[in-house]
Amino acid sequence: MQNVDVQTAQNVSLSVELAGVGSRFFASIIDYATLAAYLITAAPIAGFLFGMSASVQVLVAFPALVYFLAAEALYDGQTVGKHVMGIRVRNLDGTAPSPGAYVIRWLLRPFDILMTTGFVGFVSIVVTQHGQRLGDLAAGTTVVRQRKETEIRDLAYLETPEDHEVTYPQVAVLTDSDIQIARDVLNTLVEEGRSLHTKTLGSRTQEVLAHVMNVQPSESPMDFLRTIVEDYNDVHGGGAAM
């Protein structure tokens, strides 16, 4: 799979694994099969109960029309098909898209996918650097593979012990986005080991966040990032907000 480096608002470069054309294609097949099953089931039932007037037809069709928008907005960038294929929609900096970004992707889906039988979307995904269809280009999003379930984020956001002592009270100045970056970099450090790339990534992330906090850490980048995640959880109520 293709990996690209994306730049966060804090000027930290993160490696993101893009979803391939194949996984996106099969996700779409699953989604449209899901919609077909819904329509095949709902239309006869609605017709039997209420008759198939124009208003009933609109009511039956409406969930199918807004399916992609509603699913991605409500389920963190995933439809049924994307969930099955292990992919999700993300901004180019790795964060979750805004509701407006989901709307833009949805509005351009007919031209990307339906009106051109997927040809425009396919070509756009293949030729763009970040694997974006036109809806993604307009919304500033792409589709990425979600990380493996067993990883440090599961440890990083466990509830902080009651006797935890905060090392860096300055974490109060950090945002959720900052901590998301710290968590993602920790994931990368654990998964990819001590390569030159990961060492540079860890050091750069430590440097940026330490500057924001106005502290001078003495521990390794991995220990520093783990500490500020735990401290952030403690300062914000033991991780309950996560």
Asked if the structure places residue 207 within a domain, the reply is yes
Structurally, how many domains does the chain consist of?
A: 2
One domain, residues 19 and 134: yes
One domain, residues 64 and 173: no
Asked if the structure places residue 241 within a domain, the reply is no
Contacts from 205-210 at CB under 8 Å and sequence distance 24+? Answer: 205/12, 205/181, 208/10, 208/11, 208/12, 209/10, 209/174, 209/178, 209/181, 209/182
One domain, residues 176 and 192: yes
One domain, residues 14 and 128: yes
Q: What is the mean pLDDT of the segment spanning 204-230?
A: 89
One domain, residues 43 and 60: yes
Question: Which residue did the predictor score with more confidence, 188 or 19?
Answer: 19
pLDDT tier for residue 44 given thresholds of 50, 70 and 90: very high
Q: Answer with the one of 110, 145, 180 that is the final residue of a domain.
A: 145
Q: What is the mean pLDDT of the segment spanning 10-23?
A: 71
Q: What is the mean pLDDT of the segment spanning 146-161?
A: 49
One domain, residues 80 and 131: yes
List, in sequence order, every beta strand (DSSP E) within the chain.
3-7, 13-17, 87-91, 141-145
One domain, residues 113 and 49: yes
Q: What is the mean pLDDT of the segment spanning 171-198?
A: 77
Q: What is the mean pLDDT of the segment spanning 61-89?
A: 94
pLDDT tier for residue 41 given thresholds of 50, 70 and 90: very high
Question: Which residue did the predictor score with more confidence, 194 or 132?
Answer: 132
Q: How far apart are CA 207 and CA 210, in angstroms?
A: 5
pLDDT tier for residue 24 given thresholds of 50, 70 and 90: very high
Q: Residue 229 to residues 62, 166, 179, 204, 208: CA-CA distances in angstroms?
A: 43, 10, 6, 17, 15
Q: What percent of the chain has pLDDT over 70?
A: 81
One domain, residues 45 and 136: yes
Asked if the structure places residue 240 within a domain, the reply is no
The answer to whether residues 127 and 177 touch, using CB atoms and an 8 Å cutoff, is no
Which residue range is the domain that position 134 belongs to?
3-145
One domain, residues 137 and 157: no
Q: How much is the CA Rg of the chain, to the nearest whole Å?
A: 22
Instruction: State CA 108 to chain mean position distance.
Output: 20
pTM metric for this prediction? 0.62
